[in-house]
Structure 1
Amino acid sequence: MSESDIDLPPGAAPAEADRLHDADDRLRPEYVRRVMAHVEAGETESARALVEPLHPADIADLFELVDSDERRALAAALEEVLGGEVLAEMNEHVRDELIDTFEPHEVAEVAGEMETDDAVAMIEDMEEDEQRAVLRALDPDDRAAIEEALTYPLESAGRLMQRDLIAVPEHWTIGQVIDYLRAGAELTTDFWEVFVVDGRHHPVGTCMLSWILRTPRHVAVADVMKREQTLIPVDMDQEEVALRFQKYALISAAVVDGSGRLVGMITVDDIVHIIQEEASEDVLLLSGAGEGDINEPVRESYKSRVRWLIANLATALVAASIIHMFEDTISRMVVLAALMPIVTGVGGNAGTQTLAVTVRALATNQLTQSNTWRAIAREIRVACLNGLTVALLLGVGVAVFLDNSLLGMVIAAAMLTNILIAGLAGVMVPLALDRARADPAVASSIFVTMVTDSIGFLLFLGLATASGLVT
């Protein structure tokens, strides 16, 4: 495909716009280059004509694909299409970078186009004085909704929920509901179910749109609604909300305050983002890589990573001190120095495997107090089988190739014991952090690595010394 093939006229059909994507549904590099060429040449109409056929999520991707110093020029050229839908889909670091160039009234205008949860996500990280200026510029109804959301804890259902929903009294008929939906010009247009409330505005049931459409007008809502529903407390952590959606296969759910009043709803499209964020967060926390976002400023990435590297350096000194204790043993049998990394390396991998399984089980509520000991026993059995297999292979290999059966038995015993300890550490460390109300993904890998390295060196060199292998 030549670069000229991707010039599209204004109002191009979606089928034509599809030519801008590769087989993996990513924007083609030549398309990105062509857009930026028009922007740099001051040909804003041509640039806008290329971008207008795209979905808001693709426009957001376009901003993320260009260099940081090109984004302001691109935003100026695409001002007419850079609305709330695009900013809602944008990476938070890229969005914050663009928002910094907006005036408060411009931010307020964009926030007014967004769902409440998206507007809150955009405003919550702003400086306090800028935040107040934006809130003052908002429509009173939007300001009230956003200010209320900002009072809830970070990453809670209150920050995640939407205020625009459909709620009807339980004494209505289906006909009254249909007339209300048709006559209410100000009602939200995006919903899958109608919430049924009592006189105190407490949710008492839900009614799917398909039921409303297929039920005669004279039938009472209370006769067709589903009374069993999953209610989300407004202060519930978003990770727990996601688990409930996953467990009960929800499309939407009512959010209630401390008195049980209906205050909002959460929909599955918001939960998809949360599941992805939480899964990525746990993986990155295990590695100490911070947010792990390629758009994160270098200074922030440095600050989030270096502290874990320093902590890792401290734990590595523990292992180094153990090696120093056996300096005389190593000097008299140099081959031990070549074999030590095998014991610690395999043990570390075994511990990481168990750690990953345990952290995931804790995050998804598969591992609770009721099955903790069963999970520990299971991981010990797995570690025992793995240890026996690896120890047998390594012991026989060392005995044969180095013609030293005693050395083979020593390294096999060290390997078996270290893998068993690694398995136990891999499950006990995150469990201990979880019981202490700390995130089990944070720092677990550092502690497990310290245990496997230190114990591995101590076992191998200690057994070699005690067995009389080194004379």
Structure 2
Amino acid sequence: MVRETDDLTAAADVEEDLEDLALEDDYALNPEFVSDVADALDRGDADRLRELLGALHPADVADLMGFLSADAREELVPHLDPQTLAEILSELDSEIREEVLEHVPSATLAKAIGEMESDDAADVVDDLEDDKRAEVMAAMPEQERAAIESTLSYGEETAGRLMQREVVAAPQFWTVGQAIDHFRKESDELPELFFDVYVVDPAYKPVGAVPVSHLLRTGRQTPLAQIMEPVTEITVDLDQEEVAYIFDKYHLISAPVIDSAGRLVGQITVDDIVGVIQEEGEEDILALAGVSDAGRDAGVLDIVKSRLPWLVLNLATEAVAVQAINVYQDEIAKLVTLAILMPIVASVGGNAGTQALAVAVRALASRELTAANSLRIVMREMTVGLANGAVVGLIMAIATFAFFQDLRLSITIALALIVNIFLAAAAGVLAPLTLERFGRDPAVSSSVFVTFVTDLMGFLSFLGLASLILL
């Protein structure tokens, strides 16, 4: 018995040492640990590989997959049992997951999907090629197959695709004691994670919810209808971005999902919403820059294809903007100093426009900027632009006078900066608002439009004022 206890203690110490080796202080994977996994794969050392992977959380195993080569991932997949595979698949980046799924036998994949929550299972099945999807679905029990098919029938990025079908519901005439006894008896049918018990009427429509914490603190004879709270219902066809907004606005932990008839068909929990918020935020950031998510394994050609069209569009708009220089080429020839100072006006205006644009896009995404307050926000940003232009213009005027000893030139560039920064602020907020009004994504093409306006007006304002004041 003593030796057995010592062995268990030693095993626990080894696992703790591996956990310390695997992760750095910021929870990023240690490069040495990644190298150890790669070495174990090269040697075909299955025991060492299981030992190393056993020390990791499924999310860390998914992260590890991203650091391995495609060949190494292919070698690693056979070492994952269905339970472990189920935990990892839902954590993988979509590109890597699609690649991993190609190397998992259909029978193994069917077992793994059976271990997953319905929303994660549907996501995995949706990533499969048609032939393999048919094989996997055929290998699954009929009930699980029907649940996945039902989830996939909803549109992408809707509540129906986001929800998990496993819910905890109880009739409104039950007492707390009846509910608890039933849940204990049917514990195998309960979701792995839930926060609320949804109270339903005879038509299975949610009429309220009882938080689990409230349920456990209440006497057994208390009717559920007496302690239930109002619920915020989510319809199956609601866009996931709208769902995230509702969760954020009302500080929800979970919410029931209803079909067109108002019947309870699933639930969405806050852990699903965290992923949506992160996904939508990343999309907006990338869209502002006119790029798509390259991912760790993206090829050069794919990245070029995603970024080149925006650069070409930007080139076209800049070609129009520089026509302002062409119009005033005689003035520039007479006073070369204009060519030296001209880029400053356009550059500072571009930065001012980017500031206003970033604030406007974020405000639109978070519903802080709506039709009800758009006029006030536009006026505020334009006032800020005017104030910033005055300060920056004054600083630039002083610097210009110090270098060139020309008062009229100093006044010219100061006025040009005021005009361009003011117009940049206006464009930065009006461009996304206009695109939003026409049903377009304000994050996608606003930056190109704002850059065009600031460059064009920067050149026109500076050279136009110079022709009036200096020449």
The answer to whether the superposition gives a TM-score over 0.5 is: yes
SS of 1:254 mapped into structure 2: strand
Q: CA deviation at 1:9?
A: 5.8
Partner in structure 2 of residue 424 of structure 1: 426
Partner in structure 1 of residue 222 of structure 2: 219
> For 1:251 and 1:297, how far apart are their aligned partners in 2?
39
Q: CA deviation at 1:27?
A: 1.4
> For 1:9 and 1:284, how far apart are their aligned partners in 2?
46
The alpha-carbon distance between structure 1 residues 292 and 382, as it changes in their structure 2 partners (threshold 3 A), is: farther
Partner in structure 2 of residue 193 of structure 1: 196
> For 1:15 and 1:412, how far apart are their aligned partners in 2?
64
Tell me if the contact between 2:232 and 2:255 (Cα under 8 Å) persists in the aligned partners: yes
Q: What are the Cα deviations for residues 241-285 of structure 1, in whole angstroms up to 9, with x where unaligned?
A: 111111111111101111111110000111111111111111110
> For 1:14 and 1:142, how far apart are their aligned partners in 2?
37
Matching of residue 279 in structure 1 with residue 292 in structure 2: no
The alpha-carbon distance between structure 1 residues 245 and 53, as it changes in their structure 2 partners (threshold 3 A), is: same
> For 2:396 and 2:101, how far apart are their aligned partners in 1?
58
Letter in 1 for 2:391: T
Partner in structure 1 of residue 6 of structure 2: none
Q: What are the Cα deviations for residues 109-158 of structure 1, in whole angstroms up to 9, with x where unaligned?
A: 22212111112222223333433333233221221111111111111111
Q: CA deviation at 1:106?
A: 3.2
Partner in structure 2 of residue 346 of structure 1: 348
> For 2:345 and 2:228, how far apart are their aligned partners in 1?
62
Tell me if the contact between 2:83 and 2:115 (Cα under 8 Å) persists in the aligned partners: no
Listed as ranges, the matches of 1:347-362 within 5 Å are: 347-362=349-364
The alpha-carbon distance between structure 1 residues 433 and 98, as it changes in their structure 2 partners (threshold 3 A), is: same
SS of 1:89 mapped into structure 2: coil
Matching of residue 320 in structure 1 with residue 326 in structure 2: no
Q: CA deviation at 1:322?
A: 2.0
Q: What are the Cα deviations for residues 377-434 of structure 1, in whole angstroms up to 9, with x where unaligned?
A: 1101111111100011111211221111111111111110000100000011000110
Partner in structure 1 of residue 176 of structure 2: 174
Listed as ranges, the matches of 1:87-166 within 5 Å are: 87-166=89-168
Equivalent residue in structure 1 for 2:270, among 265, 268, 271: 268
Q: CA deviation at 1:82?
A: 4.4
> For 1:79 and 1:218, how far apart are their aligned partners in 2?
45
Q: CA deviation at 1:12?
A: 4.4
Listed as ranges, the matches of 1:240-255 within 5 Å are: 240-255=242-257
Q: CA deviation at 1:303?
A: 2.3
Listed as ranges, the matches of 1:305-454 within 5 Å are: 305-454=307-456
Q: CA deviation at 1:79?
A: 5.1
SS of 2:436 mapped into structure 1: helix
> For 2:315 and 2:180, how far apart are their aligned partners in 1?
66
SS of 1:441 mapped into structure 2: helix
SS of 2:372 mapped into structure 1: helix
Partner in structure 2 of residue 3 of structure 1: none
SS of 1:23 mapped into structure 2: coil
Letter in 1 for 2:432: P
Q: CA deviation at 1:15?
A: 6.4
Tell me if the contact between 1:233 and 1:258 (Cα under 8 Å) persists in the aligned partners: yes
> For 1:80 and 1:186, how far apart are their aligned partners in 2?
20
Tell me if the contact between 2:82 and 2:112 (Cα under 8 Å) persists in the aligned partners: no
Q: CA deviation at 1:296?
A: 3.7
Tell me if the contact between 1:83 and 1:113 (Cα under 8 Å) persists in the aligned partners: no
> For 1:110 and 1:11, how far apart are their aligned partners in 2?
30
Tell me if the contact between 1:158 and 1:234 (Cα under 8 Å) persists in the aligned partners: yes
- Percent identity, please: 45
Letter in 2 for 1:270: D
The alpha-carbon distance between structure 1 residues 192 and 80, as it changes in their structure 2 partners (threshold 3 A), is: closer
Tell me if the contact between 1:170 and 1:196 (Cα under 8 Å) persists in the aligned partners: yes
> For 1:32 and 1:90, how far apart are their aligned partners in 2?
17
The alpha-carbon distance between structure 1 residues 346 and 437, as it changes in their structure 2 partners (threshold 3 A), is: same
Tell me if the contact between 2:34 and 2:64 (Cα under 8 Å) persists in the aligned partners: yes
Letter in 2 for 1:175: G
> For 1:14 and 1:165, how far apart are their aligned partners in 2?
36
> For 1:266 and 1:285, how far apart are their aligned partners in 2?
27
Tell me if the contact between 2:22 and 2:30 (Cα under 8 Å) persists in the aligned partners: yes
State the superposition RMSD in angstroms. Answer: 1.8
Q: TM-score, normalised by structure 1?
A: 0.94
Letter in 2 for 1:203: P
Tell me if the contact between 1:256 and 1:262 (Cα under 8 Å) persists in the aligned partners: yes
Partner in structure 1 of residue 5 of structure 2: none
SS of 1:235 mapped into structure 2: coil
The alpha-carbon distance between structure 1 residues 40 and 133, as it changes in their structure 2 partners (threshold 3 A), is: same
Partner in structure 2 of residue 210 of structure 1: 213
Equivalent residue in structure 2 for 1:55, among 51, 57, 64: 57
Q: What are the Cα deviations for residues 81-101 of structure 1, in whole angstroms up to 9, with x where unaligned?
A: 741111111111111111122
Q: What are the Cα deviations for residues 11-59 of structure 1, in whole angstroms up to 9, with x where unaligned?
A: 9444652332111111110111011111101112111111112110111
Aligned length: 461
> For 1:69 and 1:288, how far apart are their aligned partners in 2?
32
Letter in 1 for 2:254: S
Letter in 2 for 1:68: A
> For 1:374 and 1:390, how far apart are their aligned partners in 2?
24
Tell me if the contact between 2:412 and 2:466 (Cα under 8 Å) persists in the aligned partners: yes
Tell me if the contact between 2:125 and 2:133 (Cα under 8 Å) persists in the aligned partners: yes
Tell me if the contact between 2:198 and 2:209 (Cα under 8 Å) persists in the aligned partners: yes
Q: CA deviation at 1:78?
A: 4.2
> For 1:178 and 1:299, how far apart are their aligned partners in 2?
58
The alpha-carbon distance between structure 1 residues 14 and 143, as it changes in their structure 2 partners (threshold 3 A), is: farther
Tell me if the contact between 2:244 and 2:273 (Cα under 8 Å) persists in the aligned partners: yes
> For 1:293 and 1:333, how far apart are their aligned partners in 2?
49
Letter in 2 for 1:338: I
